[in-house]
Amino acid sequence: MDTPQSPDMLLSLACIISDSVNTIHAACEETGLAFPKLEDAFDLHSEAFRPHEGVSEATKRIVAAAHQLIAAVLPPATAVYTIAASGSHKAACLRICLEENVAEILREAGPKGLHVSLISQRTNINPQKLARILRFMATLHIFKELSPDVFTNNRLSSAFDTGKPVDELLSNRAARFSGTNGFTALACLHLDDIFKGSAYLWETLSDPLTSESVDAKGSACSHGALGYETNIWEFMERPEQAHRLRRFGEAIRGVQAMEPTDAVLEACDWKALPEDSVVVDVGGGVGASVFPLAKYHPHLRLIVQDRQDVVEQAKEVWLSKDPAALGMGRVTLQGHDFFESQPVRNASVFLLKQVIHDWSDKDAVRILSGLREASQPTTKLVIIDCLINHACSMAQLGEHSSIPGAIPREAPLPLLANYGAANFMSYFHDITMLTRFNSQERTVAEFSSLLKMAGWRLVRVRRTDGADTFLQPLEAVPA
């Protein structure tokens, strides 16, 4: 898919987009699949074209080139002001639509849509104000305005439809995310706590008392938005914050839903592990990360560790999703604080999926050192987190260049080496970690240094380059 480079950047970007669109069209024709229409409702089957060879790379190039093209052609002041002025409004209006179940209301209305006056009757929003919000969203291609003040779902809006009846959502709000794919819970988490915290990010970073802090209590969410004087985990465990804790557990499944279903299967050579090898999912929440391992690698013994209250949630999930694995002892749910001594001493693999990014280097070293102390000489450590690439070329990484997978695939010129907005999720999560936990996503060099301090040695980065992949597995062994 190499595109000839033009001395004119605009023409080069246009060629990249055109060639990549042709690649996707060819893949759809070859497989007999139609490219999904924006006005149609979201359906998992409509994503079937994505695994075809070349589609993922084409998608990344289109997104990267389109955003770069917009940045290039808009007047600079307009480009920057659009970011400054619209970001908060987009988040606020989308939150209203999610919290008021607009996607579900429109789904029940059917393809002819619903007048905003009728939508308003099922929400707490004034119809004239709600119309303005929905029109703003429709201008961003979320929902569609069929005729004046008549709206319907489209591919984007229906993606966060929980699938539940509106009456059920209104009567049992506490369970609105239960049994869903978690995507709506994840969106609501970001649009509530994290969105509020981001408004205080400058104040937090510019305050000498919190700017140098590496404590979660010094985060923008804690210090500014929500005003708790503890870390986020202790805050969510308060009885009055039960809704936040439950939403967080469901949101983790949302992260899982946005990743390829077999992502964890590519994180390690699981088949090579002997029968009854013990895999410990440290800080594993309800165990969503290891569902595929339980299904495709029944020779493994899986231990999911998290706080005791999360373990109670996990029991419900496993009894619903895979009761046999729980009943036969192939999966064990274990209450454990990973800052305490690790009770499992015979692990073949310690797995940490989206755990280390929640913590500062100081605390991350404590977690990793505890696992090192409990490890055997043959124990592997698998970390799955966002991996931050520099926005410039990483062709030379010094001492880390020899680590397999350390140097990422880079985009062709004139695109940014890191594919720009096509890899936006990693950088978005990095700022989310800063805002919520006063922590971070890390580069290869930062991970290598962190692991070294804790007695581990980074030996491999198992990069996956899909357009929908933002989590990357790293493998380490005892140093």
Residues in the chain: 479
Buried b (16+ CB within 10 A) or exposed e, 16-36: bbebbeebbeebbeeeebeeb
Evaluate whether 479 touches 456 at the Cβ level (below 8 Å). yes
**What are the residues whose beta carbons fall under 8 Å from the beta carbon of 114, sequence distance 6 or more?**
105, 106, 150, 151, 152
| Catalytic choice (67, 357, 400, 429) | 357
**Which amino acid is located at 328 in the chain?**
M
**Which amino acid is located at 24 in the chain?**
I
What's the distance, CA 247 to chain centroid?
A: 15
Backbone angles phi, psi at 199, to 5 degrees: -65, -20
**Which amino acid is located at 399 in the chain?**
E
Task: Respond yes or no: is residue 357 known to be catalytic.
Answer: yes
Q: Residue 477, exposed/middle/buried by CB under 10 A (0-12, 13-18, 19+)?
A: middle
Q: How far is CA 378 from CA 130, 477, 478, in A?
A: 59, 7, 8
Evaluate whether 42 touches 81 at the Cβ level (below 8 Å). no
* Crossing angle between the packed helical segments 242-258 and 308-321, to the nearest 10 degrees: 50
380-385, strands of its sheet edge to edge? 331-335, 301-306, 278-281, 349-353, 380-385, 472-478, 456-461
Known catalytic residues?
A: 357
